[in-house]
Amino acid sequence: MLRVDGITAGYGPVTILRDLSFKAEAGQVTCIMGRNGVGKSTLMRAIIGLVPVQSGQITLGKVALHALPPHQVPVQGVAYVPQGRRLFGPLTVAENIEIGLLARKKGPQRRDYVLDLFPRLRERLDQVASTLSGGEQQMLAIARALCLEPEVMLLDEPSEGLQPSMITLIHETILRLRESGIAIILVEQRVDSVLRVADHVAFMANGRVETVVPRSDLAPDSMLFRDYLGV
């Protein structure tokens, strides 16, 4: 289980996250919702180690992630699919996959497992990543992260800019990963998507997670969506 306990984090003198706490359980999808600029991506970056945590703790099992040098966090089993994908554009699909395998020293077996999830990538191994279609790029971003064989997976708006069939494919993938016991933290803005995949929804405002609600307590017209997203 990944626990975030009272963290404060931001950029230079600007504090974005204030005393923020929440947790993500293995085999469950925890969705993070909140308005643009509330700090959802900052929270993801704090967990993966790209944004330093000024106070508070982030722990995975017994390991204090916030105390590790950033490049050690993925080694503990935290994989990150950043907003906007951030592929290694000039590198090939195969090379992007290869990078994913490095942190936890995974081999051909893991590579095959991941490519079986996304057969379209297998057909394009030698293609340069920046020339992939948007959907294929998102598949590669997820595949690259899955190469770690992670215990926790952070996905920051993976459906941004994709057509409905592609979004469905990504949801199916997320639900499969959930079955395999991974703790999934998903930043997602679409209410219908959240209702399809979430076990819990964490609503962010004012630099904190203000409410966590189980999926069963939510409906498409819930007041919470209106309050926290302004829809």
Partner 1 sequence: MSFGPFLLLAVLEGTVMAAVLALTAVGLSLVFGVMRVVNVAHGEFYMLGAVLAWFVTYYLPFPPLLAWMAALIIAPVLVAAVAALTDVLVLKRLKYNPEATIMATIGLLYMLQQAALTVYGPDARPVVAPFEWRIQLPWFGYSGYKLFVVVAAILVLMAVWWVMTRTKAGLIMRATQVDRDTAQTFGINVNRVYAGTFAFGGALAAVAAVLIVPIQQAHYLMGHDPLLLSFIVVIIGGLGSIRGTLVAAVIIGLSDGIISMFFSPTLAKIIATLLVALVLVFRPQGLFGAKA
Ligand X SMILES: Nc1ncnc2c1ncn2[C@@H]1O[C@H](COP(=O)(O)OP(=O)(O)OP(=O)(O)O)[C@@H](O)[C@H]1O
Which of the choices partner 1, Mg ion, ligand X, none does residue 181 contact, using the CB cut-off of 5 to 8 A by kind?
Answer: none
Q: Which is nearer to Mg ion, 15 or 83 (CB)?
A: 83
For Mg ion, the binding residues (CB under 5 A) are 40-41, 83
Which residue lies nearer to partner 1 by CB, 90 or 108? 90
Q: What is the 3-state secondary structure (H, E, C) of 92-154?
A: EHHHHHHHHHHCCCCCHHHHHHHHHHCHHHHCCCCCEHHHCCHHHHHHHHHHHHHCCCCCEEE
Which one, 173 or 189, has the nearer CB to ligand X? 189
Cβ proximity to ligand X, 101 vs 204, nearer residue: 204
| Contact (Cβ atoms closer than 8 angstroms) between residue 60 and residue 48 | no
If one asks whether residue 160 binds partner 1 (CB under 8 A), the answer comes out as no
Give least dist CB 186 to Mg ion, A: 12
Residue closest to Mg ion when measured from CB atoms = 41
Nearest Cα to Cα of residue 47 among 63, 35, 26, 27: 63
Binding of residue 48 to partner 1 (CB under 8 A): yes
How far apart CA 124 and CA 141 sit, in angstroms, is 14
Minimum separation from the CB atom of position 113 to ligand X (A) = 30
Binding site for ligand X (CB under 6 A): 11, 14, 16, 34, 36-42, 83
- Strand order of the β-sheet with 2-11 is 14-24, 2-11, 53-60, 63-64
Q: Which CB sits closer to Mg ion, 40 or 200?
A: 40
122 in contact with partner 1 (CB under 8 A): no
Q: Supply angle C-alpha 179, 185, 186, rounded to 5.
A: 100
Would you give the DSSP letter of residue 54? E
Minimum CB–partner distance for residue 24 and partner 1 (Å): 17
3-class DSSP assignment, residue 178:
helix
Candidate residues 52, 64, 86, 113; the one interacting with partner 1 per rule CB under 8 A:
86
What is residue 38's three-state secondary structure? coil
Cα–Cα distance for residue pair 215/224, rounded to 1 Å = 12
* Partner from ligand X, partner 1, Mg ion, none contacting 203, C-beta within 5 to 8 A by type: none
> Where along the sequence are the contacts to partner 1 (CB under 8 A)?
48-50, 69-75, 80, 82, 86, 88-91, 95, 98-100, 102-104, 144, 148
